[in-house]
Amino acid sequence: MILVTGGAGFIGANFVLEWLAQSDETVINLDQLTYAGNRENLASLAEDSRHVFVHGDIGDSVLVARLLAQHQPRAIINFAAESHVDRSIHGPEDFIQTNIVGTFRLLEAVRAYWHNLPVEARQNFRLLHVSTDEVYGSLVKDAPAFTETHRYEPNSPYSASKAASDHLVRAYHHTYGLPVLTTNCSNNYGPYHFPEKLIPLMIVNALAGKPLPVYGDGQQIRDWLYVKDHCSAIRRVLEAGKVGEVYNVGGGNEKPNIDIVHTVCALLDELRARADGKSYREQITYVTDRPGHDRRYAIDASKIGRELGWTPAETFETGIRKTVQWYLENQDWVANVQSGAYREWVEKNYTGRAA
């Protein structure tokens, strides 16, 4: 069996669902169920004995040690993280605690567990740490894309905390021999994405007749990766990745944020037109940019393609259509995640930003 941390969040839940759709290997799913962790993401697994959900924190060393001793996983995939830049600006301490201290405590528990495994199990064990392209910092318009050897230059409390966690994982491999793998991915999108991030926020606000807030001039460039492609990349790295190596995972879809918003509006115009016949584009509102907003991220994913034979299955055009259709077909899920706390957060982050 495998242990997945953060498996009720956006990427983690998609990974668990995809894993169990392709394998009978049991998943132990450890998630603290913070604002973005949602048991409803895993509702289809409610009666599936291959999925064992545990409500808990990776920073709880006693709990993690007990789970490892009880279930004896052959691999751990660590998705657990605070992951929203805007939230890290308003409240960085949670990011330090989860992404740095939590990762450290997880590594300590895993090191003790791995050290006591039989020889063959020790040789086959893997810890796969899931990280982000934001640790590399920001690129100017024509600069080459991030490679795995690019210098770390994080610019937000979120990316700095993830950079620290990456360094800890690397150190535990080089110091203790812990068999680790690290992936650094570009912006994910797809089903079950919490509606504070760009694409789901645009969909949810558009359908509700609310403004579509775009930071600054909307020309911030990101590489977009459909979440199920990300999951397939992680499975491939876990299967065949070289211990101690880092693999960048990207979708090959560099696009300015405003182009993403326009694409979402066009799809909604086609699939769920406004009652007044006007385009959802009329709801776009430019707001004051967030502090320290990175201008461009770009992933060079040639290493994972060259060494492991992985390439994304979706183009941006096919992936974004599937994403918009999913949100249109799952309005109950959207309504259920929009709690009072979510509404308060959106108001806190965007009220007063109108430019």
Percentage of residues of the chain with pLDDT beyond 90: 82
pLDDT > 70 fraction of the chain, expressed in percent and rounded: 94
Of the two residues 152 and 295, the one the predictor is more confident about is 152
Q: Which residues are CB-neighbours of 268 under 8 A, at least 6 positions away? A: 203, 206, 207, 280, 324
Mean pLDDT estimate for the chain = 93
Q: What is the pLDDT of residue 351?
A: 62
**Whether residue 259 lies in the annotated active site:** no
Q: What is the structure's pLDDT at 342?
A: 46
Question: Cα separation of 227 and 329, whole Å?
Answer: 18
Residue 160, pLDDT above cutoff 50? yes
Q: Is 40 a catalytic residue?
A: no
Q: Supply the pLDDT for residue 90.
A: 72
**Reported confidence tier of residue 291, pLDDT bands at 50, 70, 90:** confident
Would you place residue 116 in the very low, low, confident or very high pLDDT band (cuts 50, 70, 90)?
Answer: very high
In order of their start, the domains of the chain are 2-192+226-252+292-314 (3.40.50.720)
> Residue range 196-220: average pLDDT?
94
The reported pLDDT for the residue numbered 341 is: 54
> Tokens standing for 311?
């390439």
Active site residue 282: no
pLDDT band at residue 352 under the 50/70/90 scheme: low
Nearest-10 Cα torsion for 264, 295, 232, 14? -60
pLDDT at residue 141 in the model: 86
- Model pLDDT, residue 86: 66
Q: What is the pLDDT of residues 82-97, one digit of tens each?
A: 765 667 677 788 889 9
Give the mean model confidence (pLDDT) for residues 329-352: 68
Residue 93 pLDDT: 87
Active-site residue identified among 31, 82, 133, 223: 133
In the predicted model, is pLDDT for residue 64 greater than 50? yes
Q: What is the CA radius of gyration of the chain?
A: 20
Two tokens, residue 250:
């990207």
Instruction: Convert the pLDDT of each residue in 41-50 to its tens digit.
Output: 999 999 999 9
**Residue 347 confidence (pLDDT) above 70:** no
pLDDT at 34: 80
Active-site annotation holder among 134, 223, 229, 314: 134
The reported pLDDT for the residue numbered 345 is 43
Structure tokens at 241: 């990745």
pLDDT digits (tens, 9 = 90+) for 6-26: 999 999 999 999 999 999 999
Report residue 267 CA to chain centroid gap. 24
pLDDT in tens, 213-251: 999 999 999 999 999 999 999 999 999 999 999 999 999
End-to-end CA distance of the chain: 51
pLDDT of residue 299: 95
Q: How confident is the model at residue 33 (pLDDT cuts 50, 70, 90)?
A: confident
Choose, from 31, 57, 136, 158, the residue flagged as catalytic. 158
Contact 183, 232 (CB under 8 A): no
Give the CA dihedral 231, 233, 234, 235, nearest 10 degrees.
90
